[in-house]
Structure 1
Amino acid sequence: MGVNTDNLIQGPATLYRGAFGAAEPADTNVAINATPPASAWTDLGGTQDGVKFGGDQTYGELEVDQITMRVGSRLTKQDFTIETSLAEATLENLSLTLNGGTSASGTGYKTFEPNVTSSATQPNYFAVILDGYAPGQFRRRIIGRKMLNVDSVDLAYTKDKQTLIPAKFAAHYVSPSIAPIHIADATS
């Protein structure tokens, strides 16, 4: 099989945030190439060093005494993540990466205080859309339906480097009939 250069992908992605359960854009070609509706989705702004979608699968081995090699495997754990560094160090992006909190504003100021509730409290899940490129110069949309940031958050203020907010959004189980991740490619 020869190389099909139309299948090579390069280019930035855009991230959007919505409430858990927000109406998802349709999978039609027009919707994949269009910005998600601003009424339900907020653009997270610039990123640095790209946006990465990851899938990690752990399999347990099945073995028997009579055969020396693995005779089968069973999926025991699955993780999907969307990871980036948010370049716009806003209080809104900080709140997102700290999985919520209390925000307020007044004339000439905004404030944010992170959640410090009990570990038994349900976290503030949200949804994420990653809009990037697919083979053939088309668009690919990855929707994380129930996400939380699972990475440490730090704001580094240095003389010679830009302040970034690291984010690693992990997908969580939704239901037997709703997958936590949905991926759609435009084809025309």
Structure 2
Amino acid sequence: MIQISVDPDNLIQGPAAMYRGAFGATEPADSTAALNASPPASAWSDIGGTTDGVKLSIENTYGELEVDQIVDRVGSRLTKRMTSVETNMAEVTLDNLAYALNGGTTASGSGYKTYEPNDDSSATQPSYSAVLFDGIAPDSLRRRVIVRKVLSTDSVELAYTKDKQTVLKVKMQAHYVSPSIRTYKIIDGV
């Protein structure tokens, strides 16, 4: 019989709180106090409730290295990485809609609020932002994920149906930041 060693404290389950910030927003410190602060810092805004969780996806693509003399793959090299954050924003506010659509203008008056999209050309630099979410880490501690430069890349729809909750489905694709700043960072409490 095979014996498997499992540490139940390393199993995690539960929701995450998601925050948005401007591209280049000051990141919270890597400390226990900062990890346990909610919201994480004044530069970050809570997007509110989500449905179906918050998902970080990292897709690595490797190119094969081969030689004529060996039938097996000799090696691989990383050629592409696609990092994204996905969620359904349950709070369908105009501010969240503006975030899902990478900007636009919201305004309010006496008893109303409006949203109008950006009217940029394809040559205009898009409005990048940042995303941060806090969830559970092993040992029931806090895990924080910061994705530093993102852009919403999928279609956004507002569906009103009799038997389903309206949500803003959003997929934020990560982008390269600089040689000294990585695309994302994950911090676990210890």
Query: C-alpha displacement at 1:37, in angstroms?
Result: 4.7
Which residue of 125, 129, 137 corresponds with 2:128?
A: 125
How far the C-alpha of 1:69 sits from its partner, in A, is 1.1
- Is the alpha carbon distance of 1:15 and 1:150 closer, same or farther for their aligned partners in structure 2, counting shifts above 3 Å? same
Structure 1 residue runs of 4+, over 4 Å off?
none
Counterpart of 1:52 in structure 2 is 55
The share of aligned pairs that are identical, in percent, is 65
* Equivalence for 1:86: 89
Give the structure 1 partner of residue 79 of structure 2.
76
Q: Does 1:41 align with 2:44?
A: yes
RMSD, aligned α-carbons:
1.0
**Partner Cα distance (1:71, 1:114) in 2:** 50
AA aligned to 1:124 is S
Structure 2: unaligned runs, 5 residues or longer:
none
Structure 2 residue aligned with 1:105, among 105, 108, 117?
A: 108
CA distance in 2, matches of 1:82, 1:47: 13
Is the CA contact 1:25–1:36 (under 8 Å) kept in the aligned structure 2?
A: no
Q: Which residue in the other structure is 1:168 paired with?
A: 171
Change (3 A) 1:177 1:38: closer
Q: 1:177 Cα shift?
A: 0.2
User: How many matched pairs?
Assistant: 187
Aligned to 1:183: 186
- TM superposition shift of 1:38: 5.1
Q: What TM-score, normalized by structure 1, do the two folds share? A: 0.96
Residue 20 (structure 1) aligned with residue 29 (structure 2): no
Q: Which residue of 1 aligns with 2:149?
A: 146
Deviations along 1:80-116, one digit per CA (max 9) or x if unpaired, are 1111100001001110010001221111111111123
Alpha-carbon distance between aligned partners in 2 of 1:10 and 1:55, rounded to the nearest angstrom: 19
Q: Which runs of 5 or more residues in structure 1 are unaligned?
A: none
- Report if aligned partners of 2:28, 2:41 keep a CA contact under 8 Å in 1: no
Q: What is the distance in 2 between the residues matched to 1:137 and 1:111? A: 41
Of 102-111 and 173-182, the range deviating more from structure 2: 102-111
CA shift for structure 1 position 36? 3.6
